[in-house]
Amino acid sequence: MRIIDIENLSFHYRAGTPVLEDITLHVDKGEWITILGHNGSGKSTLSKLLVGLLRAKKGTIKVGGLELSENTVYDIRKKIGIVFQNPDNQFVGVTVRDDIAFGLENLQIPRDTMIERIEQYARKVDMADYLNKEPHNLSGGQKQRVAIAGILAMETDIIIFDEATSMLDPKGRNTILSMMKQLNDEGVTVINITHDMKESLYGDRIVVLKNGKIIKDDKTDAVLKDQEILEKSNLEMLLPLRVLRLLESENVKDEKVRSYLWQLSLTG
Amino acid sequence: MAIKFNRVDFKYKGEGKKGYLALSNISLSIQGEGEFITLIGETGSGKTTLVQHMNALLVADSGSVDIYGIKVEKEAVKKKKIRLNPIRKKVGLVFQFPEYQLFEETVLKDITFGPKNFGVPEKDAVETAKSVIKIVGLDESYLERSPFNLSGGEKKRVSIAGILAMEPDILILDEPTSGLDPLGRNALLKVFFDIHQKLNKTVIIITHDMNTVYEYAKRVLVMRDSYLVYDGDPVNLFTSKNIENWNLDVPDVLDLTNKLERDLGISLKTRPRSASDLTKALEEVLR
């Protein structure tokens, strides 16, 4: 079932310098889409358009069949949430509890339901013990988990992770990734914007952006082995494939090593 | 020794980080040339606090930091007995989001701002700007551009050029590649390595990327809960059990080497630290 329909979407900050050009993209419910692209390729602009933080110059966005417009933006935000790159830039509350409550207050959810949901989703992201703590004393991974709880509390169907792990230490990154995996298994649609090729292994499909255009939209394994497409967008292949290509270029042929590296490159 | 920490403690005071112990009993030495050091550890372990002691932005509560023969101590700094300018000139620190600190109308003005502040004549400062902009991989045409119209990676390069223009012996970078795409990251790492190799400067990089550590570092410092728990070479670090206790990841090259040795019974003659070295090592045993 379709959950996002983007048709012929274009955006610019200044006329004549397009940031996104004629983007058409469809996402099914429960999918995990990875969006890859170089710095400045338009990835983050796309995510801001999706949650109505920016307005498209051309084209349409439908979320769950509802077309995004000035009138529907608050309804759309009940369906789609976003976790940003810098964990320090997304806190508004004095305590973790206030912070998770913030989105719910905007939705005018009754107080009893609100308290219930805050507890429920804090437990879900394993932050229930921190509800009365100040957000800025948490680690990066913990902050991102609180941000996720805030979105889950609104019971959205879709979460965009906009380079949400890029500033975290290895432990923080691994906790967020396994949380994303768990949510996706439970049916949440995940859109993960990243530069980390290893993260893309979690997803079903990869969309590659270059200079504001989609240059590839295909199954994860098909994109990961497409050296030309990846290099065009300042990305690199996963290590086993890179080593395999290097061996081939040196004319080293060993079937056992070749098939082993091949298999590794698709499973991580 | 250019920088010497002697049993340094540091606690953050005031609201928010009340009573937060950031450095505990740190002793270490850093040479003024030829070192390539990576500093790693979990968020909040004290990495940024540690490097801010290296150019006297922060001053130890107890113990002392010697920077180029100047003993930086709390009392002396309070009584303004120490001139900090010579220290800042010798030890250049690039903050985590240097791009937020660009403020002049042209790249040239941004790069020459520091040197001119230190009394370098305009003409010399411009010459230096022309040379450092190339070191960071941009060309002279950038000097006339506005820093605000540059991409994230370009802004980072300009801010690094601004620090290099002060001609420090030691260059410290706080998470310089986070958020960059792989090509941008690799290119910037090459810039740092060139600065280290061609100019023989000491470079210190804070990072969460274990691949950077394994491929480039000659020496690794690991911070954990305000303590310096490791000071040594990367190979020993990643082959010890501590990587699990310290929540570090295994670098990709080491992980793949281990898998090849374990699953295919291949035994390599060297311990490769980059994709190309791993390929060469495989070539050697497969031919």
Residue B131: count other Cβ atoms within 10 Å of its Cβ. 12
B42: nearest CB among A139, A167, A242: A139
| Chain B, window 133-192: residues with a beta carbon less than 8 angstroms from a chain A beta carbon | 151-153, 175, 178-186
DSSP B26: E
Residue A81 and residue A155: Cα distance in Å, rounded? 9
Q: Is residue B98 part of a domain?
A: yes
Can you name the residues that pair with A33 across neighbouring β-strands? Answer: A191, A205
How many structural domains are present in chain B? 1
Nearest-CB residue to A239 (from B152, B248, B253): B253
Identify the three-state secondary structure at position B64. Answer: strand
* Residue whose pair of structure tokens reads 């292994």 in the numeric block: A201
Q: What is the ipTM of this complex?
A: 0.86
> Any idea which of A9-13, A77-81, A180-184, B73-77 has the lowest mean pLDDT?
B73-77
- A-B CB pairs within 8 A amount to 101
Residue B112 placed within a domain = yes
- The residue among B248, B268, B249 whose CA lies nearest residue B258 is B268
Which tens digit of pLDDT belongs to each residue from B218-248?
999 999 999 999 999 999 999 888 888 898 9
- Judging contacts by C-beta atoms under 8 Å, the chain A residues touching residue B41 are 169
**A8: pLDDT strictly greater than 70:** yes
- Counted residue by residue, chain A has a size of 268
Q: Of the ranges A87-101, A149-163, B87-101, which is most confident?
A: A149-163
pLDDT of residue A206: 97
Chain B hits for A239, Cβ within 8 Å: 252-253, 256, 275
pLDDT at position B197 is: 94
- A88 and chain B in contact, CB less than 8 A: no
H-assigned helices in chain B: 47-54, 74-78, 85-90, 107-117, 122-135, 152-164, 182-198, 210-216, 234-238, 242-245, 252-264, 275-286
The pLDDT value given to residue B137 = 87
Cα gap B216→B193, rounded to integer Å: 8
Contact residues for A141 (Cβ-Cβ < 8 A; gap 6+) = A168, A169, A171, A172, A173, A175, A176, B43
- Pick from A248, A244, A209: nearest CA to A225: A244
pLDDT at B19 over 80: no
Residue of B nearest to A87 (CA): B43
Task: Point out the residue among A85, A140, A242 whose CB comes nearest to the CB of B43.
Answer: A140
Q: What span, in angstroms and rounded, lies between the C-alpha atoms of A102 and A158?
A: 18
Contact A207, A46 (CB under 8 A): no
Average pLDDT over residues B277-282: 96
Residue B11 lies in a domain: no
Q: What's the Cα-to-Cα distance from B68 to each of A201, B5, B65, B86, B231, rounded to whole Å?
A: 49, 12, 10, 9, 21
Question: In this structure, is residue B260 part of a structural domain?
Answer: no
Mean pLDDT, chain A, integer: 92
Q: What are phi and psi of A244, to 5 degrees?
A: -60, -45
Tell me which residue of A71, A260, A169 sits closest to B46, measured CA to CA.
A169
The rounded percent of chain B whose pLDDT value lies above 90 is: 72
Position B2 in a domain: no
Indicate which CATH number applies to the domain containing B159: 3.40.50.300
CA B106 from centroid of its chain's CA atoms: 26
Which of A39, A136, A252 lies at the smallest CB-CB distance from B287? A252
What is the distance between the alpha carbons of residues B211 and B80, in angstroms, rounded to a whole number? 43
**Mutate: best of B208, B211, B243, partner A, most A CBs <10 A:** B208
Instruction: Look up residue A95 and give its DSSP letter.
Output: S
Rounded Cα distance between A205 and B9, Å, is 50
Percent helix, strand, coil in chain B, to 5, is: 45, 20, 35
Q: Residue B245: inside a domain, yes or no?
A: no
> Among A43, A137, A54, which Cα is nearest to A96's?
A137
State how far residue A252 is from chain B, nearest Cα, in angstroms.
7
CA distances to A63, A66, B53, B74 from B77, rounded to whole Å, are 59, 63, 13, 5
Residue B247 contacts A where some CB pair is shorter than 8 Å:
yes
Residue B15's pLDDT is: 59
B151 and A40 within 8 Å at the Cβ level: the answer is yes
Residues of A in contact with B283 (CB under 8 A): 247, 250, 252
Domains of chain A: 2-226 (3.40.50.300), 238-268 (no CATH)
Instruction: Report the 3 state secondary structure along A157-201.
Output: CEEEEECCCCCCCHHHHHHHHHHHHHHHHCCCEEEEECCCHHHHC
The beta-carbon neighbor of B256 closest among A170, A233, A240 is A240
B104: pLDDT confidence band, cut at 50, 70 and 90? confident
Confidence of residue B162 (pLDDT cuts 50, 70, 90): very high
The pair of structure tokens assigned to A232 is 């065009």
DSSP state of B251: P
What global pTM score does this model have? 0.91
- Quick check: A212 contacting B, CB < 8 Å? no
Q: Is A261 helix (H, G, I), strand (E, B) or coil?
A: helix
pLDDT category at B16 given cuts 50, 70, 90 is low
Strands A32-37 and A189-193: parallel
What distance in Å separates residue A194's CA from the closest CA in chain B?
9
| Residues of B whose CB is below 8 A from A133 | none
- Do the domain assignments include residue B249? no
pLDDT tens sequence across A20-56:
999 999 999 999 999 999 988 999 999 999 999 999 9
Closest residue of chain B to A254, computed from CA coordinates: B286
On chain B, the residues whose CB falls within 8 A of the CB of A39 are 151-153, 179-181, 184
Higher pLDDT, A107 or B214: B214
The mean per-residue pLDDT over the stretch A67-75 comes to: 93
pLDDT category of residue B76 using cuts at 50, 70 and 90: confident
Q: Using a CB-CB distance cutoff of 8 angstroms, which residues of chain A are in contact with residue B279?
A: 243, 246-247, 250
* Domain containing residue B88: 32-55+83-234
Question: A98-157, pLDDT tens digit by residue?
Answer: 989 988 887 788 889 999 999 999 998 889 999 998 887 788 888 888 999 998 898 899
Whether A153 contacts A124, CB under 8 Å: no
- Whether residue B17 and residue A166 make contact (CB cut-off 8 A), yes or no, is no
Assess if residue B76 is contained within a domain: no
Angle A215-A216-A222 (CA atoms, 0-180°, nearest 5)?
Answer: 150
pLDDT given for residue A229 in this prediction: 95
pLDDT at B92 over 70: yes
CA A42 to chain CA mean position, Å = 14
pLDDT at B17 over 60: no
A88 confidence band (pLDDT: 50, 70, 90) = confident
CA distance B184 to chain A (A): 7
Q: Is B276 on the interface with A (CB under 8 A)?
A: yes
Q: Say yes or no: B264 contacts chain A, CB-CB below 8 A.
A: yes
